[in-house]
Amino acid sequence: MPTNIVDTLDTIPPVEKKVWKLALPDWGELDTVWKNPMPFALWTVGEQALVFHWLDAAVDKDFDHIIFYVADRPSAVREALDNAQMWPVTWEIKAVAELDPNNYETVVNRLPSGEKPIDFMPEDGWSLIKYWRALENEWLEIFYKETEKYGQLVAIGKHCEISSRAQLIPPYWVGDFVSIGPGSSVGPNVVIEDGCVLEGGNKLNNAHLGHHTYLGPEIDLDNASMFRNQLLNLKYNARVDNLEPFLAGDVGSGVVTKNSNKPKWNERIIALLVLLSWRALGQKAQTYFVGIDGQNWPQIDGTEFKDRAVWLKLVVKGKMRLFGVTPRAESALESITDEWSHLLREAPVGAFSYADLTSSNEVGSFEEAMHCIYQITGDSERCERLLSTWFQQNISKAAGVFI
């Protein structure tokens, strides 16, 4: 018999881990329409990727460890799981050439808590997309039943701006940092991912809006999915690429080349003419602040057009663009995503921005940041044309000068 605590501990058998063996569907060859860079298990279903729903189920079922058998792009699955830190389970990935049903317990081609199994399996590109949307609608129904008593806010992410004149019809899911304009109708069976912008008058029914997608005014989606400027119409099995930027586009997820803050000569001349017309060439700033780029920027004192004179002086001196992103302090990045913060840091600073054109120029607000991001990642030529027209109109009103 054990004579002390150490001996007693030595006699306690180790607790065996509760292991769940799961296979991810090998449907890469079916994806001939969307051609998603991610395998099906990483497609977003509701608020997260399908495989993450199974991590939730593993926790609920008290599993300690998961073995994933993966034949389709195991490196992408490994990267996604490596970035998943919130689940108190461990996992491993076994890359296989083909799936052997004798090695696992189930295939992650459905929701773990599904009440209504999908009554068909995908056989080609369009049926694969329709199967995915059927899974998502199933998730929306389950989510709505489980959370109905908590009210509609539980289906809306953080830092969203939704017009009081917009209508939300459950079931739906709205991600973080989403802007929904007036006159819009969202639902039923709609998922809007993070960072999307609905300009207004949009009607979404049985639809999915991929993250950081801009939807122009009066553009509707019915039985369709939109990913930036790519439309998948499930009603007519039609894919449309490269939609015009005023219809749909990318908000804040594009790759932006870092541009110089140095203005062109014509910008400097325009700024000089404006300052001369205002008799503000000698105007000096009273206070300064440290911008996100580490530089000291003059603090403007009001919202009037002429208050930008101290910044126009920097345009004349070649230290700031005429049109760019408004200078801002670190505190102005607190309520936006890291992705948007990175883009704002990389963008050239300007005396006037696209946010001024829309009168959303309160630096630090979500709406101001959203319009700046659209300026950075959207149709730059179109934004500059609109800004130039707006600038000329305001100059003529403020000083009788036509540039």
pLDDT for the residue 95: 93
pLDDT for the residue 255: 44
pLDDT for the residue 114: 62
Is the CB of residue 190 less than 8 Å from the CB of residue 144? no
DSSP per residue, 149-187 = GG-GGGGB-SS-EE-TT-EE-SSEEE-SS-EE-TT-EE-
Instruction: Note down pLDDT in tens along the chain; length 403 residues.
Output: 555 555 555 555 566 789 999 999 999 999 999 999 999 999 999 999 999 999 999 999 999 999 999 999 999 999 999 887 788 999 999 999 999 888 898 999 999 986 556 788 999 999 999 999 999 999 999 999 999 888 888 999 987 888 889 999 999 999 988 889 899 999 999 999 988 889 889 999 999 999 888 888 899 999 999 998 899 999 999 999 988 777 777 775 444 444 567 888 888 988 888 888 877 777 777 788 999 988 899 888 776 778 888 899 999 999 889 988 889 999 888 877 777 888 888 888 999 888 887 777 788 787 788 778 877 876 666 677 778 887 877 775 544 444 4
Using the structure block, give the residue that is written with the tokens 């959203």.
Answer: 370
Please give the C-alpha separations between residue 183 and each of 57, 171, 175, 201, 278, in angstroms, as whole numbers. 38, 19, 19, 4, 41
Each residue's pLDDT tens digit, 79-106: 999 887 788 999 999 999 999 888 898 9
Residues in contact with 129: Cβ distance below 8 Å, sequence separation at least 6, in sequence order: 33, 34, 225, 232, 234
Please give the C-alpha separations between residue 41 and each of 90, 107, 180, in angstroms, as whole numbers. 18, 10, 29
pLDDT for the residue 136: 96
* Alpha-carbon span 193 to 240, nearest angstrom: 20
DSSP per residue, 119-131 = S----SHHHHHHH
| Fold match flag (5-122 vs 151-250) | no
pLDDT for the residue 86: 82
* Alpha-carbon span 354 to 371, nearest angstrom: 6
* Alpha-carbon span 280 to 273, nearest angstrom: 10
CATH number listed for the domain at residues 151-250: 2.160.10.10
pTM of the model: 0.68
Q: Of 176, 174, 142, whose CA–CA distance to 184 is shortest?
A: 174
pLDDT for the residue 44: 95
Please give the C-alpha separations between residue 232 and each of 12, 126, 180, 265, in angstroms, as whole numbers. 59, 9, 21, 44
Q: What is the DSSP letter of 250?
A: E
Each residue's pLDDT tens digit, 93-141: 999 999 988 889 899 999 998 655 678 899 999 999 999 999 999 999 9
* Helix, coil or strand: residue 247: coil
* Alpha-carbon span 373 to 365, nearest angstrom: 12
pLDDT for the residue 399: 46
Q: What residue segments make up the domains of the chain, in order of their start?
A: 5-122, 151-250, 265-399
Which CB contacts under 8 angstroms, 24+ apart, belong to 121-128?
Answer: 122/27, 122/30, 123/30, 124/30, 124/32, 125/30, 125/31, 125/32, 125/33, 125/34, 126/33, 126/234, 126/237, 127/30, 128/27, 128/30, 128/31, 128/33, 128/34, 128/40
- Helices (runs of H) and strands (runs of E) counted in the chain: 10, 23
The CA angle 156-160-165, to the nearest 5 degrees, is 90
DSSP per residue, 327-369 = P--GGGGTTS-HHHHHHHHHSPBEEE-HHHHTT---TTSHHHH
Q: Is the dihedral of CA 163, 199, 371, 358 positive or negative?
A: negative
Chain mean position to CA 173: 14
Q: What is the DSSP letter of 276?
A: H
**5-122 domain in CATH 3.40.50.970?**
no
The CB density around residue 285, as the number of other CB atoms within 10 Å, is 17
Using the structure block, give the residue that is written with the tokens 């009554």.
Answer: 119
DSSP per residue, 56-106 = HHHHHTT--EEEEEE-S-HHHHHHHHHT--S-S-EEEEEE-SS--TTS-SE
Residues in contact with 172: Cβ distance below 8 Å, sequence separation at least 6, in sequence order: 140, 155, 186, 187, 188, 189, 190, 191, 192
